[in-house]
């Protein structure tokens, strides 16, 4: 029942704001379900891909996807996604993965807070400087490849603050953008075998109706409130990643100290 409810809440956020497929799923799978980091990321990729596959037609039929910005984002994000997945595979074998997760969470929270600082917003930036979008999308792809987060949260925040699009069109463009990244990431993680099928099916059982409901409600949410909700969700997602990484890091250090005390009890005495 917990997994069903979890899937429904995350999917509702995805359908309504485009955020949550990876940003919420990975911390939830780490903290609530207890999956290993690699398996949590792989499962989140597939879950997010299915949710966005369901949500995308709602926005495509409503002509809420900007094809030009969608293409430019993918040009930069796909190479970053591949790099991020290789980094994840390499770092997952070391003791530094928790530190990286903390840094990514801080980056996500800080970047999302830009929405609440009007002076740094530039709605005409993408229109006048479209050639920069691939470069801005590259780090989003890297983060998405490493943690499965970023495509929804950072992509939405980027387009909200630096494009002329209305919030509903931003969400539609970002859902289509995140769908392509999720498909690529899912395929790679499926070959790695880093997906928990039982957990995935339970999440989808609650997620499918949740994402449909979110898409149906998206048009009824006022633009200003939707923008604030998107930013707040992204900040919470970043803080969740920080919490997850810090908790894991503390646990590792505690276990290491305990092992040292067992192996050399005299070394810890004054």
Give pLDDT tens digits for 45-68.
888 888 888 888 888 888 888 888
Q: What is the pLDDT of residue 119?
A: 55
Q: What is the pLDDT of residue 100?
A: 67
Residues of the chain predicted below pLDDT 50: 268
Residue 266 lies in a domain: no
Residue 74 lies in a domain: yes
Residue 188 tokens, joined = 């790679």
For the beta carbon of residue 223, count every other beta carbon within 10 angstroms. Answer: 11
For the beta carbon of residue 251, count every other beta carbon within 10 angstroms. Answer: 11
Residue 222 lies in a domain: yes
Residue 19 class from Cβ within 10 Å (0-12 exposed, 13-18 middle, 19+ buried)? buried
Could you tell me the pTM of the whole model? Answer: 0.74
Domain assignment of residue 166, given as a range: 2-261
Give 97-132 pLDDT, tens digit per residue. 677 677 767 876 776 676 676 656 677 777 777 788
Q: What is the pLDDT of residue 261?
A: 76
Residue linked to tokens 């995935």: 200
What distances in angstroms separate CA 51 from CA 6, 219, 222, one per listed residue? 13, 18, 23
Q: What is the pLDDT of residue 268?
A: 47
Residue 237 class from Cβ within 10 Å (0-12 exposed, 13-18 middle, 19+ buried)? buried
Residue 145 lies in a domain: yes
Q: What is the pLDDT of residue 74?
A: 92
Residue 114 lies in a domain: yes
Q: Are 20 and 233 in contact (CB under 8 A)?
A: yes
CA angle 239, 233, 87 (to 5 degrees): 55
Residue 270 lies in a domain: no
Q: What is the pLDDT of residue 270?
A: 53
When divided into structural domains, the chain yields a total of 1
Residue 126 lies in a domain: yes
Q: What is the pLDDT of residue 79?
A: 92
Residue 22 lies in a domain: yes
Q: What is the pLDDT of residue 40?
A: 81
């Amino acid at each position: 029942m917990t997994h069903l409810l979890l899937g429904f809440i995350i999917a509702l956020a995805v359908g309504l704001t485009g955020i949550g497929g990876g940003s919420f799923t990975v911390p939830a799978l780490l903290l609530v379900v207890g999956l290993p980091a690699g398996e949590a990321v792989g499962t989140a990729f597939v879950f997010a891909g299915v949710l966005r596959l369901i949500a995308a037609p709602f926005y495509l039929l409503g002509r809420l996807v900007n094809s030009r910005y969608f293409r430019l984002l993918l040009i930069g994000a796909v190479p970053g996604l591949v790099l991020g997945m290789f980094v994840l595979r390499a770092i997952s074998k070391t003791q530094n993965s928790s530190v990286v997760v903390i840094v990514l969470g801080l980056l996500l929270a800080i970047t999302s807070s830009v929405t609440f600082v009007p002076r740094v917003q530039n709605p005409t930036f993408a229109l006048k400087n479209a050639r920069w979008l691939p470069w801005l999308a590259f780090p989003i792809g890297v983060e998405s490849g490493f943690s499965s987060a970023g495509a929804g949260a950072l992509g939405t925040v980027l387009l909200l603050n630096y494009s002329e699009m209305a919030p509903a069109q931003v969400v539609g463009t970002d859902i289509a953008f995140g769908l392509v990244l999720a498909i690529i990431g899912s395929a790679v993680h499926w070959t790695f075998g880093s997906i928990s099928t039982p957990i995935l099916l339970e999440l989808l059982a609650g997620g499918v109706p949740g994402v449909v409901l979110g898409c149906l409600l998206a048009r009824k949410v006022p633009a200003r409130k939707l923008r604030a909700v998107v930013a707040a969700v992204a900040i919470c997602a970043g803080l969740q990643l920080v919490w997850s990484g810090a908790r894991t890091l503390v646990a590792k250090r505690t276990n290491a100290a305990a092992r040292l005390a067992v192996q050399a009890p005299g070394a810890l005495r004054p």
